[in-house]
Amino acid sequence: METDGAAGAEDRPGTHRAGRDGRPVRTSVRWPWPWWGSRPTPLWVEAGVLVLVAVLLSVAVKALFLQTFYVPSESMEPTLTGHDDGIQDRIVVQKVSYWGRDPHRGEVVVFRDPGGWLRTEEAARPNTAQRLLATAGLYPSGGHLVKRVIGVGGDRVQCCDTQGRIEINGLPIEEDYVLDPEATARSPFDVTVPEGYLWVMGDNRANSADSRAHASEPGDGFVPVDMVVGKVAFVVWPWDDRAVLEDPEVFDSLD
């Protein structure tokens, strides 16, 4: 004798069973709304649910793990390109590294504007559709800055020694990632980074409105650690520029 459970499994709403021609036939689903009855689920409803799930997953990934940005200026060249024949590098920022620690020296980070750092041409001007896609993590975000961490809380950062090199806690560093090393010494400074803050600089020292440019403003050019969005991990576009960003070893001797 066939049990009720076995008999009902084949005709359970929402399942597929074989029709007279052997092909699967879609059964109806009993919805909680009386006015809908037991009609089959429309394709547009299924498509809408799939889109909603995809958007929610994308938002979760953006909030917790990864987020895409575009490079707004030339300040990080040659590491990152802002305006090469009108093509801006698209970068992926990962947030996992900073779940349990603060940024380290030498890391390239994306951070929110501490106040008045973004120049007019760097500010994002997305249209409504782009803003919605960026919110969902489906379009590169703008309105942020990208720089390299040079000093962390407690560091004394000086520019420069007799060879034009930056000194951190009295030790000179050889920055082979800088576009024009001689440009660094043109803007001398001597600062001590407060705890909970960062001193950041662009790799294109001659064309970077970084901590040096804002040292005389409120905040003294320091970036609060809690304004850092994440660490730049990859360049994903243009295809020919794709790369994994490695941290320079020159800072290892300072730890």
Tokens of 204: 């294109």
Burial class of residue 133 (count of CB atoms within 10 Å of its CB; 0-12, 13-18, 19+): middle
- Show which residues are catalytic: 75, 147
Cα four-point dihedral sign 110, 111, 112, 116: negative
- Residue 55's SS3 state is helix
- Residue 120's SS3 state is helix
* φ, ψ dihedrals at 47, nearest 5°: -65, -40
What letter does residue 215 receive in the DSSP assignment?
T
- Sequence-separated (6 or more) residues with CB below 8 Å from residue 109: 103, 146, 147, 148, 149, 198, 200, 228, 229, 230, 231, 232
